[in-house]
Amino acid sequence: MVILTLNCGSSSAKYQVYDWDAKDILAVGIVERVTLGGSFISHKAKGKEEYEAKHDCPTHTDAVDLIIKTLTSPEVGVIKDMSVIKAVGHRVVHGGDKFIKSVLVDDTVMKTLDEVKELGPLHNPANIMGIEAAKKVLPNVPHCAVMDTAWHQTMPAESFLYAVPYEWYEQYAVRRYGFHGTSFLYTAKRAAVLLGKDPFQTNLIIAHLGNGSSINAVKNGCSFDTSMGMTPLEGLVMGTRAGDADMAMPFYVMRKTGLNAAEVESALNKKSGLLGITGQYADRRDIQAAALKGDARAKLAQDMEAYRVKKYIGAYQAALGRVDALVFTAGVGEFAAFMRKKILDGLDAIGIVYDPAKNELAQTRNTETRISADHSPIPVFIIPTDEELVMTEDAYALMAGTYDVHTNFTYSFQRKDYVNKGRIAGLKRDLEKRPELKAIIADPK
């Protein structure tokens, strides 16, 4: 049985093809510049050379159609025809407070997603278009919506409510929702395995650091608080998003500049964060290169980003009372040793002690590593996230009728003997290049 997962952004469509019986990834890829012109697909299939081709995709339907044609191509594809695919899992960024778990897509679900799309104006329209496009191409298989906000529906009211007129919450659903939930679910469950603990007796602080970043306080295995808010704009300093700021600031800027609400909203989401501080860079690699050359604003951007994460770690430790581990994940969390160093420096006083040599060594997506010092009261793990696997398992379980909210459901990756087959070859190559990496691999207890 083969399961397809789709993650449609505003101008991209990522995909993965998973062989459920073999528990192995057959192909991954992305169509970029959807709706923008100059579209192209990057495709990597098991046992075949990487493939890239230009193909104009003015709509997400065109992008999904291109994915299907690539997957069934005799030259670069991995399946004979689409009848092999038995389910499709779709990432949906914002489900509002309407969904506490993944769901099979039907007309009611689509109507609800449309009703809450104002809460995720940069993401949900693309997610909805992706589902609609895939249903046209694959009308006879179950489609499953996996909501990033669902994981955070366990937050208590003191965490998710804002101190604004209560009727705003009652009438307009103004509240904290949180995002990156699929990533947090995976990393929280894996951290419990590495610690040898019952997941529902485990307290964690998880930092998902990428172009979009957020941090999650996990109490007894469930989301307790998170840095992103009603939209993904709140919280940490991100690639182009401002994160935490005085709520009066936009009004001040509007009065001073004559910009309207839409223009200020766009600036806070697309022209702020690291890009806003540096004036030209959003990618951490570019910022690091500039900082090493003496660019003062690049260094300032790094310091601001690290300081914001450090503040949240301290706040969440106070909120949780007991922290069993600190976890880094996502692109920056997994690879940017220099950023982890800036964040971890000085946390010794609260029981988080890292090993600089281990930190420099830990740059891989193919295994879980431990970078804390041997005497650190709180372990520090780097756990490469796997949102696609969560989506795949949710889709299969929904199709089979065995799925439930995560507190009543057990994933394959919660087993002590779980092995990610898709990462075995990559880890072998990593160890050939850097044998010393083996010493920091985090084995389950």
pLDDT digits (tens, 9 = 90+) for 54-98: 999 988 888 988 998 999 999 999 998 888 899 999 999 898 888
pLDDT at 28 over 90: yes
363, 365, 367, 373 alpha-carbon torsion, rounded to 10°: 30
- Measured from the Cβ of residue 100, the count of other Cβ atoms closer than 10 Å reads 17
Structure-token match 């706040």, residue found: 315
For the entire predicted model, the pTM comes to 0.94
In angstroms, rounded to a whole number, what is the distance separating the alpha carbons of residues 191 and 176? 25
- Interval 170-198: pLDDT, tens: 999 999 999 999 999 999 999 999 999 99
Distance from CA of residue 141 to its chain's centroid? 26
Q: Do domains 2-147 and 181-383 have the same CATH topology?
A: yes
Helix-helix angle 337-344:296-320, to 10 degrees: 60
- So where are the chain's domains? 2-147, 181-383
Kindly write down the DSSP assignment for every residue of 119-167, as one continuous string: GSTTTHHHHHHHHHHHHHHSTTS-EEEEETTGGGGG--HHHH--SS-HH
**Structure-model confidence comparison of residues 237 and 421, the more confident one:** 237
d(CA 427, CA 191): 19
Residue of 102 and 126 predicted with greater confidence: 102
Q: CA geometry: angle at 77 spanning 72 and 78, to 5°?
A: 95
* Whether the predicted pLDDT of 162 surpasses 90: yes
Q: Domain 181-383: what homologous superfamily? A: ATPase, nucleotide binding domain (3.30.420.40)
Among 156, 155, 151, which Cα is nearest to 186's?
151
Q: Has domain 2-147 been given CATH number 1.20.1440.230?
A: no
308-346 pLDDT per residue, tens? 999 999 999 999 999 999 999 999 999 999 999 999 999
pLDDT tens, residue by residue, 345-388: 999 999 999 999 999 999 999 999 999 999 999 999 999 999 99
Decide if 193 contacts 416 (C-beta within 8 A). Answer: yes
Q: List the catalytic residues.
A: 148
Residue of 322 and 423 predicted with greater confidence = 322
Contact 412, 418 (CB under 8 A): yes
Q: DSSP code of 79?
A: -
- DSSP letter, residue 354: B
Alpha-carbon distance of 30 to 8, in angstroms, equals 9
Q: What is the DSSP string of 199-260?
A: GGG--EEEEE-SSS-EEEEEETTEEEEES--SSTTSSS--SS---S--TTHHHHHHHHH---
Quote the Cα angle for 220-226-230, to 5°. 135
Counting Cβ atoms within 10 Å, is residue 139 exposed (0-12), middle (13-18) or buried (19+)?
exposed
Contact of 187 with 329, CB cutoff 8 Å = yes
